[in-house]
Structure 1
Amino acid sequence: MSEVIITPNKPIAIELEPGTYYRCACGKSTNQPFCSGAHHGTGFSPIAFEVKEKKVVHLCNCGKSAHAPYCDGSHNK
């Protein structure tokens, strides 16, 4: 399995419309923080999540959250 490329240790705050999204898990996406398909052959898969109403979400950007794709503050530990 390839290594995850870790980006800055702070969550990504982004307002999303209702729908299904795919959070990049490999760090290689050209469409960060969302999957672009760049994970093929890495052993990683994107993390699917659903937003039911328009809102700001905080996506994990350190790869340590127990509640991925959402930030749980693990980057502070």
Structure 2
Amino acid sequence: MTNTPDTPQKAPYPVEVEEGKSYFWCACGRSGNQPFCDGSHKGTGFTPVKYTADASKRLFFCGCKHSGKAPLCDGTHSRL
């Protein structure tokens, strides 16, 4: 088990979210359904991060898995 997530891409994932809907962001970086969880974290010590949309809009979910504002991008990928 490692405490460092995989980095599926060094750019955010633009996603159109729907108000009131919950999304489960992949924190381990192993999901085949990025940026969302598909259960690939089992046995890693990571757990998905739940995000519930407060409005219908486009958001940018972290792709590098190192954001300080997870699950959303904060630009950390530009320093990796």
**TM-score, normalised on structure 1?**
0.88
**Secondary structure in 1 aligned to 2:77?**
helix
Superposed CA RMSD in Å reads 1.3
Q: 1:25 aligns with which of 24, 27, 48?
A: 27
Structure 1: which 5+ residue stretches go unaligned?
none
Q: Stretches of 4+ moved more than 3 A in 1? A: none
Once the two structures are superposed, residues 9-65 of structure 1 have per-residue CA deviations (whole angstroms, 9 ceiling, x without a partner) of 111111111211110111222222111112111111001111021110001111221
Count of paired positions:
77
In the alignment, the residues of structure 1 paired with residue 77 and residue 69 of structure 2 have an alpha-carbon distance, to the nearest angstrom, of 12
Task: Give the TM-score taking structure 2 as reference length.
Answer: 0.85
Structure 2 residue ranges without an equivalent (≥5): none
- 1:47-66 correspondence runs (5 A): 47-66=49-68
Aligned to 2:13: 12
